Structure 1
Amino acid sequence: MSLPANPKALLIDLAGVLHVGDQVIPGSIEALARLRAAGFRLVFLTNTTRTPRRTLVAKMRALGLDVRDEELLTAPGATMNLVRSRGLHPHWIVHPDLRDEVGPDAAEPDAVVLGDAGHGFDYAQLNTAFRLILRGLPFIAMARNRHFKEADGLSLDMGAFVAGLEYSTGVAAEIAGKPAAPFFQAALDTAGVRAEEAIMIGDDLRDDIGGAQAAGIAGVLVRTGKYGAADEHDPDICPAAIEDDFARFAERLL
């Protein structure tokens, strides 16, 4: 897949593309300002399932990144939209920081929703989910990420827990966040563009680039965050372009 000749919107992953932990990746603030001034529609994507939306926006702005609330699409937000659209009343397994955003567990749940509970994951929580799924409740997961980048290195993400419950129950989870097609469609809807008018910029070959290109959106891989040298030789996923970082891609685009 090639880059569109006249893109209108940029779908930008946050962690690993604009920042790593509390450190902004050099050149990102200036590049973002130049792209915004050039008239590109911007949508910021994150599969972070621990951080409330308002906290994330405040953090980005404190780092100097011009991220606006109406431009941010999160995995929890996409999941809650899915749950509401189906009229479900879930049992939630989420990080304590996200509890106020998703609300309380239903007294009589009709679905199981798994987020990244972080240090809150324990046997009792997972066993409760296991039993509810065995009873026939739908199993929805916010994401299936393998790992994420923190200041001290890669950390285990929630995909291992999703896989564990799938293995034990024999039930495949429905994924609401990246790389699911509905997540990317929601991003396009937010930007008000068609797939062929957008570019996805990400550091995760599978979830960012593979997911976007499966939805018809050209993907640009940056050599920051989760990126590994082997990504450039993957037999299944071929980015439309590869750049050293977000600022270099902005320079190329402009």
Structure 2
Amino acid sequence: MMHLPAQLKLFIFDIDGTLHVDGQEIAGARALIQTLRDQNYAIRFMTNTTTKSQAMLVEQLENVGIQVEQNEILSASEASRTYLHDEQINLGRKIKIWTVVSENIQADFSEFEQDQQHPDFVVIGDIGNGWNIDLLNQIFNCLNQGAKLIALHKNKFWQTQEGLKVDIGLFVAGLEYVSNQTALIMGKPTVAFFQQVLASADCSAHQAILIGDDIDSDVGGAQRLEIFAALVKTGKYRASYHAESKIQPDLVLESVAELAQYLPEK
């Protein structure tokens, strides 16, 4: 059996669909994380989830028995806040934004002025069943007036206990099409987001491994930086989608628990 590269120092985990689904642990996830901690590996949790604050993400992981520090979680909403903060400094003025996001993460953007009529940026996240044609038209009009479109991510779909559900990529792509804009994507699979994760652990790409259930956002994003990428057959994984993809994972696992078999001997 092959082993993972001996130089590995950092394990980067997607959360939803990789470690749990709707708050239910994927068998063996907790034990694997504890094994990695016992062997002194650095761990980061990288998520495009936009309906939960950092504190809520910590609580959700702890509810399935995975102990985590808040600074180990890097989210798309935090990446967006950092980007907007830097833009404000670069422009030398206060910027106005309209955050079309869950109430759970509105506080992440509290330093910015909100303006639903003439914003500099429209920030799109998951709002569940809140989407409707009037809202889309209002966003469209803001974009036509010069606002820039920021998407916390552009995922196509996500896994729930009831099955797959459409994600915000549907709305982002539609808004891009009608406004002739290309959205600024903040989360996976962007290079900047993966670079932020590596920097947080002071590791190079060749010292890291990414484990996730999304062949596009997780595996594809990691491989842009030549990060070793493992795809798990849980969560949103679908064999037919995998077979049609041009992206080739470095390792395919039945679930995250199987990763323990590939750890280098210490």
| Smaller-chain TM-score bracket | over 0.9
Q: Deviations over 1:15-43 (max 9, x none)?
A: 11110112101111111100111111000
- The question of 1:166 aligning with 2:173 is answered no
- Residue number in structure 1 paired with 2:24: 23
- The question of 1:60 aligning with 2:61 is answered yes
Partners in 1 of 2:4 and 2:60 — Cα distance? 31
Q: Secondary structure at the match of 2:114?
A: coil
Partners in 2 of 1:234 and 1:189 — Cα distance? 33
Superposition RMSD in Å: 1.7
- Residue number in structure 1 paired with 2:108: 101
Tell which deviates more after alignment, 101-110 or 118-127.
101-110
Question: Compared with structure 1, are the counterparts of its residues 13 and 235 closer, same or farther at alpha carbon in structure 2 (3 Å cutoff)?
Answer: closer
- Do 1:20 and 1:149's aligned partners in 2 also have CA atoms closer than 8 Å? yes
Q: Deviations over 1:147-188 (max 9, x none)?
A: 111111111110000011011111111101111111101110
- Do 2:96 and 2:114's aligned partners in 1 also have CA atoms closer than 8 Å? yes
Q: Secondary structure at the match of 1:48?
A: coil
* Structure 2: unaligned runs, 5 residues or longer: 89-94
* Structure 1: unaligned runs, 5 residues or longer: none
Partners in 2 of 1:253 and 1:86 — Cα distance? 41
Q: Secondary structure at the match of 2:222?
A: helix
- Do 2:4 and 2:263's aligned partners in 1 also have CA atoms closer than 8 Å? no
- Residue number in structure 1 paired with 2:97: 90
- Structure 2 length as normaliser, TM-score? 0.90
- Do 2:78 and 2:108's aligned partners in 1 also have CA atoms closer than 8 Å? no
Q: CA deviation at 1:191?
A: 1.4
2:186 corresponds, among 176, 187, 200, to: 176
- Do 1:4 and 1:198's aligned partners in 2 also have CA atoms closer than 8 Å? no
Q: CA deviation at 1:126?
A: 1.8
- Residue number in structure 2 paired with 1:128: 138
Q: Deviations over 1:108-134 (max 9, x none)?
A: 521111111112222232222111111
- Do 2:23 and 2:63's aligned partners in 1 also have CA atoms closer than 8 Å? no
Residue type at the aligned position of 2:104: D
Q: CA deviation at 1:102?
A: 2.4
Query: How do 1:134-149 residues align onto structure 2 when only pairs under 5 Å count?
Result: 134-149=144-159
- The question of 1:112 aligning with 2:119 is answered no
- Residue number in structure 1 paired with 2:92: none
- Aligned residue pair count: 253
- Do 1:52 and 1:97's aligned partners in 2 also have CA atoms closer than 8 Å? yes
- Do 2:15 and 2:47's aligned partners in 1 also have CA atoms closer than 8 Å? yes
Tell which deviates more after alignment, 119-128 or 201-210.
119-128
1:222 corresponds, among 232, 237, 244, to: 232
Residue type at the aligned position of 1:178: K
- Structure 1 length as normaliser, TM-score? 0.94
Query: How do 1:207-218 residues align onto structure 2 when only pairs under 5 Å count?
Result: 207-218=217-228
- The question of 1:196 aligning with 2:197 is answered no
Q: Deviations over 1:205-237 (max 9, x none)?
A: 000000110122110001111111135434521
Partners in 2 of 1:205 and 1:181 — Cα distance? 15
Question: Compared with structure 1, are the counterparts of its residues 3 and 172 closer, same or farther at alpha carbon in structure 2 (3 Å cutoff)?
Answer: farther
Partners in 1 of 2:16 and 2:45 — Cα distance? 10
Partners in 2 of 1:143 and 1:50 — Cα distance? 12
Instruction: Give the 4+ runs in structure 1 shifted more than 6 A.
Output: none
- The question of 1:243 aligning with 2:250 is answered no
Q: CA deviation at 1:97?
A: 2.3
- Residue number in structure 1 paired with 2:91: none
